Amino acid sequence: MKKTMKIEGMMCGHCEATVKKALEALAEVDEAVVSHEKGSAEVILNTEIADEVLKSTVEAKDYTVTEIA
């Protein structure tokens, strides 16, 4: 299962790493592929997770989630 997140506010590789680490700390997430250039994160899930959980995890790191598909 895969979800794509649109994220605003990431400027560099350090931002990518912060978002990746936060998402991969969730038990439901197997892998997060984050790109500050695309302003996105592809999240590979091992089970269902509420979009709100993904959103709040990223926004807790001071980035803005504009869309989850």
Rg (CA), the chain: 10
pLDDT of residue 17: 98
Find out whether 42 and 4 touch, Cβ atoms under 8 Å.
yes
For residue 39, the number of C-alpha atoms closer than 13 Å in the C-beta half-sphere is 9
At residue 45, the pLDDT reads 98
pLDDT digits (tens, 9 = 90+) for 8-55: 999 999 999 999 999 999 999 999 999 999 999 999 999 999 999 999
Q: Domain spans of the chain?
A: 2-68
Q: Which CATH class is domain 2-68?
A: alpha beta
pLDDT at 16: 98
SS3 30: strand
Task: Give the residue from 66, 52, 57 showing the smallest Cα distance to 24.
Answer: 57
pTM: 0.96
